[in-house]
Chains A and B, each alone.
Chain A
């Protein structure tokens, strides 16, 4: 059974049709990329899945649950994690707190227990701290736990965003241009990291990326959007030689 199914999803901003007739089927363990020129509607697709916008048409099902109409936090609590094209960390909070906050839906205590620091409070907080530290250690950020997020260098901020997304224990992880602003060396590291967390956390990953090296290197399937419309979908080899895709990119042809 498919993990995520999007059927005939469409979205308009006022008169502008950002996404039209979008169909997607993701199975457990897939690693898929969405590519397309700027303004093609890729981020909008992520926003529709995660509930930032409500799809004007169509339906999105995650493990049999309809996502259209749910709040972002309800969708996140179903274990769909994401990062952002422009980093959106909690800039003035510590690195550790950034990761702890994303555990919100998994912390089991009532407001009263929180108010009195009684009951499950202690155990739950300790569990969350331990888990957060573990995640930071995986991303080699442990020594920076007390640092304010905005003081991290750009590359580490990107890493922290992935760590934070993993804190909601996602089954589906959406990465929005994770390699933006990285040099080839860093991209190699990122590719290794993505493949590693995919194994380790048994993730299904959908990512948006302009860096063809990354897309062609690790993704099994690619979907090409342009002006909100799906141009093509298939394995990297097929996309690379697809006439419509070449036309849309016009010179921006992948070198890999």
Chain B
């Protein structure tokens, strides 16, 4: 293979890795938005908590990768449900912004609470043996392979749940209509809890994988990654699950490409300028549909 092709394949691989992590987080934003039209700004911090759970389980309890991942996902799922019940549910009838601001508050609380308990950045032990395969000059590390394949697996699973199971059907029904669906015997509160659990569980998985790839974690790591994942969700068309995945891989790709062509400090500048233009051109996201305003 020519150097050119090798180079591009390598970059694509890197983009897939970054995009996978963004996608897992973006899904949580978009699912909650779909069902409650609420932007859960604490979601990035749930991702951070996931990374810290991963640290606790692996370094304090010495668990291996698989149980760490599973328990982390369970833990964050539980956290997601608790947050929803305590902080968001009482505000369902309140102005939309009150819930958003509460979510910002929950996020700040999670960050600073973690900071108070753990003032210094933490190192995650090696959870996986790091092997690097070399295929015609393209290097693929075992960590990359695990991140990409696991994320894709989780996304397929989610897509299956949302589009093929009765729970998924209930979710779609609630996001379609919030007035009459509850009258049809769908347990709305339960479905909302399940949505939060799934979203937060995926964020926990993303936290674990992020910790695999970048093993130094700190309480503020959720801010930037979280906002970027939110942008992915919007770019894909917020509320649209497949859109969130598309948006995530686009942002991952753009970021990797920018670093390939510009000094790495220009990454945010170029990435965000492109996003801004994209939104101006397609204000309802890539897979979203424009809302028809009947007069």
Whether both chains belong to one complex is answered with yes
A window 114-128: CB within 8 A of B? none
Q: How many residues of B contact A (CB 8 A)?
A: 1
Q: Is B295 an interface residue (CB 8 A)?
A: yes
- How distant is the Cα of A186 from the Cα of B268 in the complex, in angstroms? 62
A50: nearest chain-B partner, CB-CB: B295
- How distant is the Cα of A88 from the Cα of B295 in the complex, in angstroms? 9
Q: Tell me if B's interface is mostly helix, strand, loop or mixed.
A: loop
B295 partner residues in chain A, CB cutoff 8 A: 43, 47, 52, 84, 88
A84 partner residues in chain B, CB cutoff 8 A: 295
Q: Tell me if A's interface is mostly helix, strand, loop or mixed.
A: loop
- How distant is the Cα of A58 from the Cα of B104 in the complex, in angstroms? 52
- How distant is the Cα of A52 from the Cα of B294 in the complex, in angstroms? 10
Smallest CB–CB gap between B96 and chain A, Å?
Answer: 14
**Chain A positions 21 through 35: 1 when the CB is less than 8 Å from some CB of chain B, otherwise 0:** 000000000000000
A window 58-107: CB within 8 A of B? 84, 88
A88 partner residues in chain B, CB cutoff 8 A: 295
**Chain B positions 261 through 295: 1 when the CB is less than 8 Å from some CB of chain A, otherwise 0:** 00000000000000000000000000000000001
A43 partner residues in chain B, CB cutoff 8 A: 295
A13: nearest chain-B partner, CB-CB: B292
- How distant is the Cα of A43 from the Cα of B294 in the complex, in angstroms? 10
Smallest CB–CB gap between B156 and chain A, Å?
Answer: 33
- How distant is the Cα of A199 from the Cα of B154 in the complex, in angstroms? 70
- How distant is the Cα of A84 from the Cα of B294 in the complex, in angstroms? 11
Smallest CB–CB gap between A15 and chain B, Å?
Answer: 15
Smallest CB–CB gap between A248 and chain B, Å?
Answer: 23
- How distant is the Cα of A52 from the Cα of B295 in the complex, in angstroms? 8
- How distant is the Cα of A17 from the Cα of B276 in the complex, in angstroms? 35
- How distant is the Cα of A140 from the Cα of B250 in the complex, in angstroms? 59
- How distant is the Cα of A237 from the Cα of B253 in the complex, in angstroms? 69
- How distant is the Cα of A217 from the Cα of B295 in the complex, in angstroms? 27
Smallest CB–CB gap between B293 and chain A, Å?
Answer: 9
Smallest CB–CB gap between A71 and chain B, Å?
Answer: 14
- How distant is the Cα of A84 from the Cα of B293 in the complex, in angstroms? 13
- How distant is the Cα of A43 from the Cα of B295 in the complex, in angstroms? 8
- How distant is the Cα of A73 from the Cα of B148 in the complex, in angstroms? 52
B292: nearest chain-A partner, CB-CB: A13
Smallest CB–CB gap between B226 and chain A, Å?
Answer: 32
A47 partner residues in chain B, CB cutoff 8 A: 295
- A contact set with B: CB distance below 8 Å: 43, 47, 52, 84, 88
Could you list 5 A-B pairs, sorted by A, with CB under 8 Å?
Answer: A43-B295, A47-B295, A52-B295, A84-B295, A88-B295
Q: What are the 4 A-B residue pairs with the smallest beta carbon separation, nearest first? A: A52-B295, A47-B295, A84-B295, A43-B295
